[in-house]
Every structure is written in C-alpha cells, then in structure tokens.
C-alpha cells in the first residue's frame, strides 16, 4: 500500500433509516446467506447492496424516460411553430 492509499478516507453522510420486515422464502434466504458469506458480507449488507444497485438502475431508467418525454414535447412544440411559420431562428453570433 502506498502513502496515497493510506491517506484516503471515505466519509459517508449519515442517512436516516427505517426498519422493515419482509417475508422471504426459506430457500431464497439460505441462498442469500451463502452468497453473503462468499462475499464476506453480512446478510443485511448484501440485501442493502442488492436494493441499492437495482434502485439506482430503476431510477436512472425512470429519469432517462422522463428526459426523453420532455425532449419529445419540446421538439413537437418547435415543429408545430415551424409549421405555423412562427419560428424565430436564434443565431449564436448575433453581431
């Protein structure tokens, strides 16, 4: 380990948490415990990892879908203005 690695510290902002209870099939729970042990993680850490990973994927997909919808609306408005002849071209070099 070099000196730069020794000085590297990770600061995590504390986040509020809430305890939830879920029912998981026994065989799935046993599999989760084996995977957690294989990864040298606690069961709770593995579950948080899975939830966080998939949540980020779903949120990214949701955000991109909303962005595409918004872009489509803007483009449709611009197309409508062009068709009506109300489109004003804005030049970057307006000197």
Q: pLDDT tens-digit profile of 48-74?
A: 999 999 998 988 888 888 777 888 888
Q: What is the dihedral of CA 73, 79, 83, 86, to 10 degrees?
A: 80
pLDDT of residue 4 exceeding 60, the answer is no
Q: Give the per-residue pLDDT at 27.
A: 98
Looking up tokens 């918004």, which residue turns up? 70
Long-range contacts of 57-60 (CB under 8 A, 24+ apart): none
Mean pLDDT (the chain) is 84
Model confidence band, residue 93 (pLDDT cutoffs 50, 70, 90): low
Our CA angle for 58, 64, 69, nearest 5°, is: 125
Q: What is the pTM of this model?
A: 0.55
Mean pLDDT of 8-29: 90
Task: Report whether 26 contacts 36 (CB < 8 A).
Answer: no
């Amino acid at each position: 380990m070099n000196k730069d690695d020794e000085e590297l510290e990770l600061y995590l902002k504390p986040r509020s948490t809430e305890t939830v209870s879920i029912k998981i099939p026994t065989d799935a729970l046993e599999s989760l415990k084996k995977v957690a042990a294989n990864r040298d993680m606690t069961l709770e850490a593995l579950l948080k990892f899975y939830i966080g990973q998939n949540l980020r994927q779903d949120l990214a997909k949701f955000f991109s879908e909303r962005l595409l919808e918004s872009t489509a609306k803007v483009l449709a408005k611009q197309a409508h203005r062009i068709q009506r002849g109300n489109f004003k071209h804005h030049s970057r070099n307006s000197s």
